[in-house]
């Protein structure tokens, strides 16, 4: 069983979870606490005039078998950082695959190929220039959007539970290994299917070690309803994996205050993955941000809202409650404070072990 010293990184959902019970009933005064958005060290060079919706729609309308996850990830990353070099990075990825394949014996099994990928990614070797890929303990909450970009991970070799499983899956699929993404609360990991069709969990934040379902449920508490509804612990299709990538774009929209774009993109993605809880929560938080900007920051109490604006106020409130109820119906529950505090302590202990 995997004994990683830390719980893997927390996705945006953990920040959204704190908003879960904010907008259910409004009394005389407001009283809804502010939410913290993701932060970045420096603004990313956002490209102008790009039609993000059209690009994502085109990707999602493709048959699952035709989707190139590497290209999809880089196209979405370029919506966040216009300096993303799509073609050069694809050449780099293909070169990594060719070099690793050259190290394998002819007719290597999928298991041997997968083990070779695990070793050369997470252990110092000539393949990685003696710079193995590691978990980024300096950004444990994944608040820096830049750190979730594929090019950042390739350059720094420090990743999180978005970039780490996605790179492993991209390389693995190019090598012919049956690996897919899978979700747990606030987390992304890898599902590996062996030659006999048996599924295994791989935890890429801990050297792609094998992890049992029971361990995953201990680390990331989830309801039986959530598993039954399919929002957690199942292999995701390529299209659903693209939607995981879109979640990083939605987080970027939040840091830029682009709530209308965030809502539109979340709604588009929900058309293709109606059970993706992160999309429901992104849309919920976007409406909350607009609700706060348009109403709570301007009017001391709901009674002070001008008559002509009350319909919009009611629409925001109704939509937020609907989204929240949908998430709960799927078995989602907010992350509790104790779990987050435990996570922070694991990070502190893990960092202390790295000290000379």
pLDDT of residue 211: 96
Q: How far is CA 289 from the centre of its chain?
A: 20
Looking at residue 351, what is its pLDDT?
61
Q: Which of 89, 90, 80, 85 is nearest to 50 (CA)?
A: 80
User: Each residue of 186-226: pLDDT tens digit?
Assistant: 899 999 999 999 999 999 999 999 999 999 999 899 999 99
pLDDT at 356 over 60: no
**pLDDT tens, 21-64?**
333 333 333 433 333 333 444 556 554 435 999 999 999 999 99
More confident residue, 19 or 326: 326
Are 203 and 8 contacting, i.e. CB atoms less than 8 angstroms apart?
A: yes
What digits encode the pLDDT tens for the residues 82-124?
999 999 999 999 999 999 999 999 999 999 999 999 999 999 9
- Token readout for 228 is 């039954």
Which pLDDT does position 347 carry in this prediction? 64
pLDDT of residue 350: 64
Q: How far apart are CA 148 and CA 227, in angstroms?
A: 26
User: What pLDDT, in 10s, does the model give residues 118-156?
Assistant: 999 999 999 999 999 999 988 877 789 999 999 999 999
Does position 332 have pLDDT exceeding 90, yes or no?
yes
* Distances, alpha carbon 15 to alpha carbons 188, 242, 277, in Å: 16, 21, 13
In this prediction, residue 353 has a pLDDT band, given cuts at 50, 70 and 90, of low
- Reported as a pLDDT band with limits 50, 70 and 90, residue 15 is very low
C-alpha dihedral sign at 312, 313, 314, 320: positive
Q: What is the pLDDT of residues 235-289, one digit of tens each?
A: 999 999 999 999 999 999 999 999 999 999 999 999 999 889 999 999 999 999 9
pTM (2 d.p.): 0.84
What was the pLDDT predicted at 299? 94
Q: How many CB atoms lie within 10 A of CB 71?
A: 16
């Amino acid at each position: 069983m995997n004994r990683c010293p830390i719980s893997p990184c927390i996705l945006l959902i953990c920040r959204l979870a704190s908003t879960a019970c904010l907008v259910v009933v409004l009394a005389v005064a407001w009283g809804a606490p502010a939410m913290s958005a993701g932060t970045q060290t420096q603004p990313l060079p956002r490209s102008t005039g790009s039609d993000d919706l059209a690009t994502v729609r085109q990707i999602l309308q493709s048959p699952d078998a035709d989707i190139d996850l590497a290209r999809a990830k880089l196209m979405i990353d370029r919506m966040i950082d216009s300096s993303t070099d799509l073609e050069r990075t694809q050449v780099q990825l293909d070169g990594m695959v060719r070099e690793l394949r050259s190290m394998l014996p002819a007719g290597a099994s999928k298991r041997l190929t997968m083990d070779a990928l695990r070793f050369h990614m997470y252990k110092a070797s000539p393949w990685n220039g003696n710079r193995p890929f590691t978990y980024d303990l300096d950004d444990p909450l994944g608040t820096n959007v830049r750190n979730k970009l594929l090019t950042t991970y390739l350059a720094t070799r420090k990743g999180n539970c978005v970039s780490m499983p996605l790179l492993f899956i991209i390389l693995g699929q190019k090598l012919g290994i049956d690996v897919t993404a899978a979700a747990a609360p606030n987390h992304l990991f890898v599902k590996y299917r062996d030659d006999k069709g048996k599924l295994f969990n791989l935890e890429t934040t801990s050297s792609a070690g094998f992890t049992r379902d029971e361990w995953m449920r201990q680390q990331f508490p989830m309801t039986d309803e959530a598993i039954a509804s399919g929002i957690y612990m199942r292999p995701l299709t390529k299209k659903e994996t693209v939607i995981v990538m879109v979640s990083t774009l939605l987080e970027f929209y939040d840091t830029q205050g682009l709530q209308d774009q965030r809502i539109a993109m979340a709604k588009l993605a929900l058309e293709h993955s109606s059970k993706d809880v992160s999309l429901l929560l992104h849309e919920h938080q976007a409406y909350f941000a607009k609700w706060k900007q348009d109403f709570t920051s301007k009017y001391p109490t709901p009674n002070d809202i001008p008559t002509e604006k009350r319909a919009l106020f009611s629409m925001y409130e109704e939509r937020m409650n609907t989204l929240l109820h949908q998430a709960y119906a799927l078995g989602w529950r907010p992350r509790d404070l104790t779990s987050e505090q435990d996570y922070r302590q694991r990070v502190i202990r893990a960092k202390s072990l790295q000290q000379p």
